Amino acid sequence: MAPPIEVLILGAGPHALTLAAELCDRDPAWGQRLVAVDPAGCWMNDWNARFDQLEITHLRSPTVHHPHPDPHAISRRRDLQRNDLTPGGYQRPSRRVFDLTVEELIESSGLNDSVIGGRVQDVRSDGDLWVTHLDDGRTLSAEHLVLATNRRRATIPTGVRQTAAIPDVRDVTAGERVVVIGGGLTAVQLADQVLTRDGFPIMVTRRTLVERHFDVDPGWMGPKYLDGFERIADPTERVLTARSARGGGTVPPGDLERLRREVESGRVELHEGNPVERAETTDTGACVHLADGRMIRADRVVAATGSLPSVDDDPIASQLVTASETDVVCDVPVLDDHLRLPGTTVYVTGGLATVQLGPAAGNLAGARRSAKRIAASLCGGTPMIEDPGTSSEVTATRLG
């Protein structure tokens, strides 16, 4: 077996990259001390695939959120083009400029060759090491693990034939009637994609469409709400608070305005606040029954009804949580302040860190906070102090 790796990151998405870049920013030697393992064999594959699939041109979050350790890495760029930042108070970066920043970050941090291709299938502890088995039969051992796998439970209405949380509608043809279930930005993006292909989108939403710039209120990025969250002692109450802060799907003002215009012009049909009772899908079409008794016939039905972080849906997380006897509430683990499964050298980032980080744990903002905490822990610092989320008063009280 090869010599042990100091830090093995499972997954190579934005959360993994944010941590790797944070470590390299502290000491470039980290580039040789960490390895990420991901089926794609490269950084950011699933993120890119989702953006390609939904044909997203701009991120939903503001310019300060990205994997670079410098929050202003995008806004300070000298090559910004006219469409790279959305107009208005909350500027959101284009995918182009986000991708450029990420590519340069990987290069400048020396992380080009840090991802091994493979899916981790099994993890066992062996003394002070973790021994991981990959799907191609290889074995990697590591002193520390970071779980950045982002396995989630998709909530798909019964009768909708869809396995992934996000459906692919790029094969819609002209004249096709497509029911899109969901009231968030993804549902609106899907309706847009159907329209672009001269199809006819029929949107069905559980509640009245809610306008909001971001999926999480900016107050959750700092002390405004995080101080109160930090004072909640009960882990279950924390998860419920985080979930209610996220609420259901929401749509940014510009996108909602555009959708309303399309509805008025008759190019989109909207059934707002009319939940789906049941859906039936056959090989030739679909039929959707709504709460008010209406029945919609269409060529296909797709759902953008969200997903939740879930230990149960992540075989590796389940295995590690069981072995370490970590408490689980609402399907997420109760980590320590270092974001470790308590008593182990296994760190967790992403939505599974909701008990510690709150509603934005799975977003890019959460990635930065978890990177700061995990890097502090690995480098001998104090994670709570280096986490930019809560105020210093609350952190001091918490640390006693």
Contact status: 326 vs ligand FAD (CB under 6 A): no
CB 353 within 8 A of CB 311: no
Q: How far is the CB of 288 from ligand FAD (least distance, A)?
A: 23
**Token digits for 45?**
């594959």
Stretch that binds ligand FAD, among 42-50, 251-259, 269-277, 320-328 (CB under 6 A): 42-50
Contact status: 50 vs ligand FAD (CB under 6 A): yes
Among residues 30, 47, 225, 347, which is the contact residue for ligand FAD, using CB under 6 A? 47
State the DSSP H helix or E strand holding residue 154, giving kind and residue range, or none if neither.
strand 152-154
How many residues interact with ligand FAD (rule CB under 6 A)?
33
From CA 116, how far away is CA 41, in angstroms rounded? 5
From CA 121, how far away is CA 318, in angstroms rounded? 12
Q: Closer to ligand FAD at the Cβ: 149 or 326? A: 149
From CA 363, how far away is CA 361, in angstroms rounded? 6
Q: Count Cβ atoms below 10 Å from residue 393 Cβ, excluding itself.
A: 10
Q: Closer to ligand FAD at the Cβ: 62 or 201? A: 62
CB 25 within 8 A of CB 68: no
Among residues 120, 179, 317, 328, which is the contact residue for ligand FAD, using CB under 6 A? 120
Contact status: 10 vs ligand FAD (CB under 6 A): yes
Binding mask 352-381 for ligand FAD (x = CB under 6 A): ----------xxxx----------------
From CA 388, how far away is CA 154, in angstroms rounded? 30
Contact status: 184 vs ligand FAD (CB under 6 A): no
Contact status: 71 vs ligand FAD (CB under 6 A): no
CB 187 within 8 A of CB 252: no
Q: Closer to ligand FAD at the Cβ: 60 or 340? A: 60
Q: Please list, in sequence order, all residues whose beta carbon lies within 8 angstroms of the beta carbon of residue 172, skipping any fewer than 6 positions away.
A: 178, 193, 194, 197, 199, 300
Per CB under 6 A, residues contacting ligand FAD are 10-16, 37-40, 45-47, 50, 54, 59-61, 65, 119-120, 148-151, 186, 316, 350, 362-365
